Amino acid sequence: MKTRKVSIGAVEIGGGLPLVLLAGPCVIESEKAVMTEAERLKAVCRQAGIPLVFKSSYDKANRTSLSSFRGPGIRQGLKVLQRVKKTFGIPVLSDVHSADEAKAAGEVLDCLQIPAFLCRQTDILVAAARTKKAINIKKGQFLAPWNMDEVIKKIVSSGNRKILLTERGVSFGYNNLVVDFRSLAIMRQLGYPVIFDATHSVQLPGGRGTSSGGEKKYVAALSRAAVAFGCDGLFLEVHQRPEKALCDGPNMLSLSELPRLLETVREIGRLADGARKTNE
């Protein structure tokens, strides 16, 4: 089944189009850091020939510990993302954690992201949909892929069909996630582009007691597998120095590692697309 095309600013995803990258640091640590990372990401993606949607969160409301760094908040965070958008001409994406945030977020963001833990919260989904912007829904770690059909219906009820579905692993025992790649194919059958979140799929939720751990050594391998299996885009959280990151450092990819990975997945995507067309 061919997925519909969804526009995020000037970037189109789905419908057999080339692979798209949704990437950026987990959270806005400072305006200077975000501007530097956005500039580098744009250059890397231009070199790889892969369209970019820049991602960074203005507030990480679902941290493990009360004392965890959350970001600058919606007001300042949206100002930073607006500057990224204006300066580099790339679309921007961030998480929305409540229905009250949706209107303000929709005035700046090209894509509103619904965090995995909130993917069934009707009021948030409907409020986000009413902005008429693209909506990226992270599939909950507790949901089967076919259950996302009911989530889609909540968005569509507001007349918005600009929907992306993101796989980010499923809970497997305590402090662990695994990826069932069948999920990509199952969600694609729902008719919307499917994104694979390689960095959160290697997360160990709460694995460090007061914070989450991660096994970023598997990010590249899972990215390659997802593109070969069939997805419309990759979601990667990247950082200049993940070991110094204020949030999700253990599962984030270093910016220096990104060019090689993008070169590899671009080639895998080309071969996989050719094989699919041959078999159609």
Task: Note the pLDDT tens digit of each residue in 224-256.
Answer: 999 999 999 999 999 999 999 898 788 899 999
Please check whether residue 56 is in contact with residue 22, taking contact to mean a CB–CB distance below 8 angstroms. Answer: no
> What percent of the chain stands above pLDDT 90?
81
For the stretch 172-205, pLDDT in tens is 989 899 999 999 999 999 999 999 999 999 988 7
What is the span of the domain harbouring residue 121? 17-274
Nearest to residue 73, comparing CAs of 86, 84, 64, 61?
61
- Residue 279 falls inside a structural domain: no
- Residue 214 falls inside a structural domain: yes
Total domains present in the chain: 1
CATH of the domain at 125: 3.20.20.70
Would you say how long the chain is, in residues?
A: 280
- Residue 152 falls inside a structural domain: yes
Low-confidence ranges of the chain (pLDDT < 50): none
- Residue 280 falls inside a structural domain: no
- Residue 2 falls inside a structural domain: no
Whole-angstrom Cα distance, residue 114 to residue 124?
8
DSSP letter string, the chain: -PPPPEEETTEEE-TTPPPEEEEE-SB---HHHHHHHHHHHHHHHHHHT--EEEE-BS--TT-SSTTS---S-HHHHHHHHHHHHHHH---EEEE--SGGGHHHHHTT-SEEEE-GGGTT-HHHHHHHHTTTSEEEEEPPTT--GGGHHHHHHHHHTTT---EEEEE--EE-STT-EE--THHHHHHHTTTS-EEEETTGGGEETTTTSSS-EE-GGGHHHHHHHHHHH--SEEEEEEES-GGG-SSSGGGPEEGGGHHHHHHHHHHHHHHHHHHHHHH-
- Residue 3 falls inside a structural domain: no
- Residue 48 falls inside a structural domain: yes
pLDDT of 139 reads 98
Whole-angstrom Cα distance, residue 200 to residue 178?
10
- Residue 11 falls inside a structural domain: no
